[in-house]
Structure 1
């Protein structure tokens, strides 16, 4: 065997015997660094040292390092109208047993934060999706994969991490994907309260292509008229909730259990209204405009 053949044979043997981590690429290195930092944060919380200055500085340095690693994995990115990206994670754990549930990636937003796109490697996204499917709070059906997951508020509120309030999807929009792309769009509402029969005013998109996953929201510009059939479904719920609220406030009992019933009634009414809206929306005048606006936002996410 000549010297070149010997070197080649040795290289093949070395590759076969090295641990996977030794051959890991930038994305795997990022995941390993993130998991190590999260484990350290959880350990500090368990030891009651989360507020220690040294621990806080260590976590701050870890987040800065993770942001740089994420940017290196994703490479150069630019979206029309959206500014300089920031790393999405601001903490690594919520308690000694709860690691951060937010999707880690880079966030691109406009000046008033009404349009935003989160970008992350597809492998990181799939790992995050699988982890959220195991959460005790995950909705029924979430574990069925991406298609059912993107119809839930749980998906968007963890992926986008709103500063107060949250996004509630109302109806799926039949957007056209380009070859090699997976794309979903929803019309929904960002709100601080239970949506009730409020009209949706925000678009959400999910796009997977070229080894990257994106989740974004933007305000919609739609003229949505009240849908009588859906309001008729919603009114009995709100009437019941209002009657209960009047009785509770009049009696002024401490820790009145009827407050829970009021919350449930309002939530059930909101759910019933949205179910009706999803059924009726495709036949409404605004629907085509909503699809067109969602496809325009997808075009922005494609870098066009």
Structure 2
């Protein structure tokens, strides 16, 4: 079986080619792979009659998830190089996603439409998704409160802050990740709006912790910022591992994510 170690804007992946044989690891095996390969996510490329491939995704803790934006871009790069096509279709548990080549050796993925219903996130009860009732800090003087929430195939809560580096994200992230408001857990974004076309972002990923980049997190931050009138519908997201360009297309309602992909190592086992 071929294995690729890759990253997308610093988001690290171990990608297994399961098109010619099953890849059914246990939770403990997945955790071991994540530690050994220093991967934020583990992914398996499987055959699919509806698309160029099916992409199965697990977080570093061994839990299976429905979406990973940068991981989809990484696999799109592999399939584009392998096929010589200009675009490929990748089926995930969340949706059918289209990957394509972009200028500057970048790769784009159409992430589809953001989901904004409280039951789509999901939340534990009906709330205004523009600012849910979550507070961090003293009850009468919280230093973080009312994150905006959206689903990009996985749930995201986005706090808008003045300075992302002023917060102890490894301490705060777990408090929000499994807050009772989020019955399936949540990815936690800390977004600093620099101007209408630029956002600085750090993300505590559900089941992976603080990562150098999060593709769906970048999409979520742009959607929440644009929806609140803080930015335009297209912006550069500056993450610890690199930059992503996110465009929430007004005509299609789809979110297009564009950024770099790096193939670090190829192994056959």
So what's the TM-score if we normalise by structure 2?
0.26
Q: Which has the higher helix share?
A: 1
| Bigger relative CO (Cα 8 Å, ≥ 6 apart) | 2
Choose 1 or 2 for highest CA Rg: 1
Higher strand share: 2
